[in-house]
């Protein structure tokens, strides 16, 4: 398996193009199951998770086309894909395909809504927590589905179609909101989702579904109302920029120092991280081209942070922020409130010389003057990139193993950071 080698060095300067959001692209691709017409998605990132979902969709019978390069596009420009679910041959998503990525489970909503049946493998455990699917089951039942769990599969049926209903999610769930919103677009009558996720990716999916003919109000708030329609059509939709990739590179610049333009990034998707980074001594400015990140001279101040559903500080930036805090002056208290086991990076950051004490869902990070490079390994995507960020300032070489995780969610990380002066390279195995 490939490795990434980072040698600690100086500041980063230049431009990093921000890709389309992985966590928007995945539900948008799944939405193609709702229509027999072609859904064209632009600005899709080239990521392992996208390829993984493509494998699942094509296994169900969805036709997939990757459009060729056009004038003005380069290797870092998002790709355009076409998905057509006009001849779906199966409503069963197998264990082999679903177990590799939790978001695959979300196909249950569109399959059930359009075909009246779906058999989807339980996604299983995950490195960042147990992540059950009870909200999906309760929510689909509220829309009239009959659900049975048997031999590791969720079997859902609605022979006469789904009917609108009201579902209040016990806690905010991005995946359950995506899934139930998609299912409700083809249900008879009105569905109300309360305590819905307000994440920008949910709003992006709602924009696309509306372009496909769905009637949705309130996406981006905690109450979404969907009036079911007979059928949806194809459309063309561009995936919104990745706020987690943006925040990650902002932390990298904060860590190494420098001045970098995060091209195409949207500051409005990152209000809380921008505010927190500002308190730590990093300047982020919205420009016409994207977001500019600057940290010159002064060091980083320790800041406390708690993860929350949007618009709070995203759990997907917690590991990167912790890496930054390992070099801050003072002690930072970091609370993880979304996932019960999302501190897998702590042990690895400690290998680089970080001082971190864990107490349940809190980590106390005491800033140190020096980190020292070492071989490290992480068990999830965001944890892996936190080690790259630490490696940018660690003395000597840091080798991050299992690059597999990084490739799930960061497009050409080493190329993007390398172009700004980082000493980073991929070592092919």
Catalytic residues: 126
Q: Which residue, 119 or 382, has its beta carbon nearer to ligand EPZ?
A: 382
* Among the residue ranges 125-133, 247-255, 325-333, 351-359, the one whose residues contact ligand EPZ (CB under 6 A): 125-133
Verify binding: residue 382, ligand EPZ, rule CB under 6 A.
yes
Smallest distance, ligand EPZ to C-beta of residue 366, A? 26
Q: Rounded to an integer, what distance in angstroms lies between the CA atom of residue 183 and that of residue 393?
A: 47
Residues in the chain: 429
Verify binding: residue 133, ligand EPZ, rule CB under 6 A.
yes
Per CB under 6 A, contacts with ligand EPZ among 235-274 are: none
Pairing type for strands 92-93 and 117-121 reads parallel
Q: Rounded to an integer, what distance in angstroms lies between the CA atom of residue 363 and that of residue 52?
A: 33
Q: Which residue, 377 or 419, has its beta carbon nearer to ligand EPZ?
A: 377
Q: Rounded to an integer, what distance in angstroms lies between the CA atom of residue 48 and that of residue 100?
A: 11
Q: Determine what percent of the chain falls in helix, strand and coil, rounding each to the nearest 5.
A: 35, 30, 35
* Among the residue ranges 133-141, 233-241, 255-263, 275-283, the one whose residues contact ligand EPZ (CB under 6 A): 133-141
Instruction: Please work out the total of residues on this chain that contact ligand EPZ, with binding judged by CB under 6 A.
Output: 23
Lookup: tokens for 150: 């048997």
Residue recorded with tokens 């290998």: 351
Distance between the two ends of the chain, CA-based, in angstroms?
5
Residue recorded with tokens 């193009």: 17
Verify binding: residue 426, ligand EPZ, rule CB under 6 A.
no
Verify binding: residue 152, ligand EPZ, rule CB under 6 A.
no
Verify binding: residue 384, ligand EPZ, rule CB under 6 A.
no
Whether 323 contacts 367, CB under 8 Å: no
**Which run of H or of E encompasses 177?**
helix 174-184
Verify binding: residue 402, ligand EPZ, rule CB under 6 A.
no
The residue sitting closest to ligand EPZ, measured at its beta carbon, is 175
Verify binding: residue 132, ligand EPZ, rule CB under 6 A.
yes
Binding site for ligand EPZ (CB under 6 A): 23, 26, 102-103, 129, 131-136, 171, 173-176, 315-316, 338-339, 381-382, 409
């Amino acid at each position: 398996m490939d490795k990434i080698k980072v040698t600690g060095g100086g500041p980063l300067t230049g431009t990093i193009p921000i890709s389309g959001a992985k966590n928007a692209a995945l539900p948008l691709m799944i939405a193609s199951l709702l229509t027999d017409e072609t859904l064209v998605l632009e600005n899709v990132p080239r990521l392992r998770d996208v390829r993984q979902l493509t494998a699942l969709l094509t296994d169900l019978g969805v036709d997939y086309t990757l459009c060729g390069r056009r004038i003005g596009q380069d290797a870092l420009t998002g790709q355009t894909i076409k998905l057509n679910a006009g001849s779906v041959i199966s409503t069963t998503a197998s264990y082999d395909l679903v177990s590799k990525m939790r978001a695959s489970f979300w196909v249950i909503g569109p399959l059930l809504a359009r075909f009246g049946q779906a058999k989807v493998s339980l996604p299983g455990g995950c490195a960042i927590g147990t992540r059950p699917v009870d909200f999906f089951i309760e929510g689909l039942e509220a829309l009239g589905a009959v659900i049975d769990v048997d031999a590791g599969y969720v079997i859902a049926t609605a022979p006469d179609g789904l009917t609108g209903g009201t579902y209040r999610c016990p806690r905010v769930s991005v995946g359950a909101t995506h899934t139930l919103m998609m299912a409700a677009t083809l249900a008879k009558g009105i569905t109300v989702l309360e305590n819905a996720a307000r994440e920008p990716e949910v709003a992006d999916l709602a924009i696309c579904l509306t372009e496909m003919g769905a009637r949705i109000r309130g996406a981006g708030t905690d109450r979404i109302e969907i009036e079911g329609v007979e059928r949806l059509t194809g459309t063309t939709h561009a995936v919104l920029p990745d706020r987690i990739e943006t925040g990650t590179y902002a932390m990298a610049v904060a860590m190494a120092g420098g001045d970098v333009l995060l091209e195409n990034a949207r500051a409005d998707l990152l209000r809380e991280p921008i505010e927190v980074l500002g308190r730590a001594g990093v300047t982020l400015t919205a420009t016409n081209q994207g977001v500019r990140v600057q940290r010159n001279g002064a060091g980083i101040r320790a800041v406390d942070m708690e993860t929350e559903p949007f618009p709070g500080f995203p759990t997907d930036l917690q590991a990167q922020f912790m890496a930054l805090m390992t070099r801050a002056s003072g002690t930072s208290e970091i609370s993880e409130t979304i996932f019960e086991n999302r501190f897998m990076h702590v042990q690895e950051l400690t290998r680089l010389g970080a001082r971190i004490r864990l107490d349940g869902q809190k980590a106390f990070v005491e800033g140190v003057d020096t980190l020292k490079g070492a071989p490290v390994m992480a068990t999830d995507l965001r944890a892996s990139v936190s080690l790259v960020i630490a490696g940018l300032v660690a003395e000597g070489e840091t080798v991050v193993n299992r690059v597999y995780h990084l490739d799930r969610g960061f497009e050409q990380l080493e190329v993007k950071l390398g172009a700004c002066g980082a000493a980073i390279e991929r070592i092919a195995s």
